[in-house]
Amino acid sequence: MYDAIVIGLGGMGSATLYHLARSGCRVLGLEQFEIGHAMGSSHGSTRIIRLAYSEGPEYVPLLRAAYRYWRELESAADLDEPLLHVTGGLDIGPEGSWTVEGSKKSCLEHGIEFEELGGADVSREFPGCRLPASMRAIYQPDGGYLMSEAAIQAHIAGATSAGAQVRSGTEVAGWSRQESGLRIETPTEAFETKRVVVTAGPWIGRLCPALRHYCQPERQVMLWTDPPAPDRFKPERFPVFILESPLGRFYGFPDHRGQGFKIGKFHHLRQRVEDPSGMDRACQPEDEAVLREGIAHYFPGADGPTSRAAACIFTNTPDGHFILDRLPGCEDVFVAAGFSGHGYKFCGVVGKIMADLCQGRSPAWDIDLFRLSPRRWAGRA
């Protein structure tokens, strides 16, 4: 009998397994594919981390903890390169926009260092950007990027060296209640456990049908280019960015070790995904066109040949906030889901929160925003 089983070992599940194992739990992690696969939400090398948070100042205490956990994981793991690269971050948009105002609000409420710039200032200080003078930007020096696949491997390695067991290639079909605890069913074996944490990313609706309506998977595409002006996109000269524009809301990264300039667009072509395993993962001409438009307008020095493209999946909640809670009606099942395209940076702290919930402890942070309550969804689709 395990103390806990974690279902799904992507970004959140690998971190949850790590924290459970390190707190002395007898824990098993089950993953349907291989560890570090490219079918879910956490692949594509890099993810942005930032303190200036337009999604809400409530996230800042979690963000501060997230930075600490990433640094802690880095020093605990045996790594060839850091997991967290600090480049500074730009939140760009028209005057009064959600991105700029939200980012500034988080900084002001939490005493975070920042600089407010005009479009011309940004284009001068960061020659990789070409912005209209009317745009505004918040520059925050702690912004940067995480090596997302390497971090999953580091969490799994840390978890197994603390005693966790891991089974990859093992799809969980569901669970049933036993006299004591739960029985987790896979096609070949069953496992008994006192508690379960479900971190199934875009597949959450299959295991927790009650959440299907609130966790909508959506197809995304990331594109890498070989910049004709490569020096402008080195991490020393080019920060991570979020750019709200009349063409949509883009995000991007400097060239990490010759991988190229990387860009994506929030909600891309607004394609809902019914079957995450069967989603079209090829980059189609219309995918590339959406991202090339952003590059041509705002980052012309990066408008070189495509070096790589990858499809990935957001799992959106109606309010854009995460779900971190006990599954309603199941006192021993906990869920971390619905990360709505901005969850990766929180993996370490979410892992700690889920380990605390699962062990009956109150997390050290206020997670009311992420609780499942009928009030939360009232009036929302």
The set of catalytic residues is: 43, 46-47, 262, 267, 312, 345
Residues 6+ apart with CB under 8 A from 29: 5, 6, 9, 13, 14, 17, 156, 159, 164, 165, 166, 167
Distance in Å, CB of 123 to ligand FAD, minimum:
23
Rounded CA gap, 165 and 25, in Å? Answer: 11
**Measured from the CB atom, is 229 or 369 closer to ligand FAD?**
369
Question: Of 42-50, 93-101, 231-239, 356-364, which segment contacts ligand FAD by CB under 6 A?
Answer: 42-50
Phi-psi sector, 174: left (phi>0), alpha (psi -120 to 50), beta: left
Q: How many CB atoms within 10 Å of residue 285?
A: 7
Q: Least Å distance between CB 253 and ligand FAD?
A: 8
Minimum distance from residue 319 beta carbon to ligand FAD (Å): 15
Q: For 88, which DSSP code? A: -
Q: Are 312 and 280 in contact (CB under 8 A)?
A: no
**What residues from 135 to 194 belong to the interface with ligand FAD (CB under 6 A)?**
171-172
CB of 197 to ligand FAD, least distance (A): 11
- C-beta of 307: minimal distance to ligand FAD in Å? 16
Under a CB-based contact definition with an 8 Å cutoff, are residues 85 and 98 in contact? no
Distance, CA of 227 to CA of 329 (rounded, Å): 53
Site string (214-253) toward ligand FAD, x via CB under 6 A: ------x-x----------------------------x--
| CB nearer ligand FAD, residue 201 or residue 235 | 201
Pick the stretch among 2-10, 130-138, 231-239, 358-366 that binds ligand FAD (CB under 6 A).
2-10
Check: CB of residue 16 under 8 Å from CB of residue 155: no
Total binding residues for ligand FAD by CB under 6 A? 37
Pick the binder of ligand FAD from 53, 59, 175, 203 (CB under 6 A).
203
Using CB under 6 A as the binding rule, whether residue 54 contacts ligand FAD is answered as no
Answer whether 44's CB lies under 8 Å from 148's CB. yes
Q: Give the strand pairing for 46-49 and 240-245.
A: unpaired
Which of 5, 20, 21, 48 is close enough to bind ligand FAD by CB under 6 A?
Answer: 48
Q: Does 264 bind ligand FAD (CB under 6 A)?
A: yes
